[in-house]
Amino acid sequence: MPIAVLVSGGGSNLQAIIDRIEAGMLDAEIKVVVSNKADALGLTRAKNHHIPTRVLLHTEFDSRESFDEAMVQAIRESGVTPQGVVAMAGFMRMVTPVFLNAFKGRVVNIHPALLPSFPGVRGQSDAADYGVKIAGCTVHFVDEKMDHGAVIIQAAVPCQPGEGGDRLGSRILRLEHRVLPQALQWLAEDRLTVDGRFVHLKPS
Ligand code: GRF
């Protein structure tokens, strides 16, 4: 399955995908890694594994739509077809219908909280500050609303009172590295069907 991975930062989720592919446990090929930040460590991780990269700076576009158009073009040029998958792995931008229509039902995101609790950019620290006893992460299909689309998989971790967002975040990140490749493998096996908000997993 051809995939594109979108990153903005460290790219540890990208690394987890790469490692799973190289271990023969994820039937996917990363055709391109796209970043909206020129200094994203994720770009270096991609280059270390000879994966093509593209940098598209959103600040150089006059609208979200024109930025998304450029991303669609870069991803298509890389060989990802509309049947491929786009994984948003720590990509800190919302995408518009321009992007979603180009890869209909094929865009997934990893969010570091148990949605619908704690959407947004501070999911881990918001959960820690709230004092929840269980936190976690969510892989979901992307729709036009932030951190909103149908849920594919979630994983949970117990929280220690007062442990803080950074410590909790690093434990959640380890879970993210398991569930994002798992969701991609289900897509590669064509085992997911979506019925409104419900994602069904066909038996293998
Ligand atoms: C992850 O927690 C991801 O869920 C969030 O940003 C973090 C990025 O991690 N959106 P990385 O870039 O994959 O290391």
Catalytic machinery residues: 111
Q: Where would I find the beta strands (DSSP E) of 36-171? A: 53-55, 85-88, 107-111, 134-141, 151-158
Could you identify the atom of ligand 1 that is nearest to the CA of residue 173? Answer: 2
Atom 8 in ligand 1: which residue has the minimum CA distance? 90
Reported pTM: 0.97
> 172 CA to middle of ligand 1, Å?
10
> 90 CA to middle of ligand 1, Å?
4
Q: In the structure, which protein residues have their CB atom closer than 6 angstroms to any atom of ligand 1?
A: 7, 9-13, 42, 89-90, 110-112, 173, 176
From the CB of residue 56, how many other CB atoms can be counted at a distance below 10 Å?
Answer: 18
Mean pLDDT in each 10-residue stretch from start to end of the chain (204 residues)? 97 98 98 98 98 96 97 98 95 96 97 98 96 98 97 97 95 98 98 97 93
Q: Please give the single-letter amino acid code of residue 5.
A: V
Q: How far is CA 183 from the centre of its chain?
A: 10
The answer on whether 36 is annotated among ligand-binding residues is: no
Domain 2-201: which topology?
A: Rossmann fold (3.40.50)
Q: What is the pLDDT of residue 204?
A: 84
Q: Rounded to the nearest 10 degrees, what angle do helices 123-130 and 165-188 cross at?
A: 130
CB 113 within 8 A of CB 138: yes
The answer on whether 171 is annotated among ligand-binding residues is: no
Query: What are the residue ranges spanned by the domains of the chain?
Result: 2-201
Q: What is the pLDDT of residue 149?
A: 97
